[in-house]
Amino acid sequence: MIELTHFQVLSGLLFAIGLYGVLARRNAILVLMSIELMLNAVNINLIGYSIFMNASESHRALGHVLIIFVITIAAAELALAIAIILRLYRNKSSINTDDINIMRW
């Protein structure tokens, strides 16, 4: 029988994997992919609570609505981030995050 704990543990594992990717990898596109993994971990947690909580229908629909918003914002964020990465590549011909220090004072 699937429990809420299963969803939470899976979500935590996926979030930790994504966090490791964000901190350890130096390729900007890989960092972006790891952020997508973390957003999906959040989605797993949301759907888990939505189907296991003993709440009213409108409260449980909130979980689904939030997932739709998270997916939308993830798409918008990805479009902007890819544009920034391509711009950086054109200006500095590198997408190594160690080379990107023009905003550092």
Partner 1 sequence: MTSLIIFYLASCVVLGGGLAVVLSRNIVYAAFGLIASLSGVAGIFILSFAPFLALVQILIYGGAIVIVIIFALMLTKLEDFRTLSDHKHWPIALVTSLITLGIIISTAFYRPANLTSRSGLDLSKLADELFSKWAVPFEMASLVLLIALMGGVIMVRKIDSRDDK
Hey, which residues between 52 and 91 contact partner 1 (CB under 8 A)?
52-55, 57-58, 60-62, 64-65, 67-69, 71-80, 82-87, 89
For residue 27, what are the β-bridge partners? Answer: 96
**Residue 31: which of 91, 98, 92 has the closest Cα?**
98
- The residue with tokens 């964020």 is 77
Least distance from C-beta 6 to partner 1, angstroms?
6
- Closer residue to partner 1 in complex, CB, 98/105: 98
Least distance from C-beta 40 to partner 1, angstroms?
5
Q: Does the footprint of partner 1 cover residue 42 (CB under 8 A)?
A: no
Least distance from C-beta 105 to partner 1, angstroms?
22
Q: Collapsing DSSP states into helix, strand and coil, what is residue 80? A: helix
Question: Rounded to an integer, what distance in angstroms lies between the CA atom of residue 21 and that of residue 6?
Answer: 23
* Torsion-angle region of 104 (φ positive above 0: left; ψ -120 to 50: alpha; else: beta): beta
Least distance from C-beta 33 to partner 1, angstroms?
5
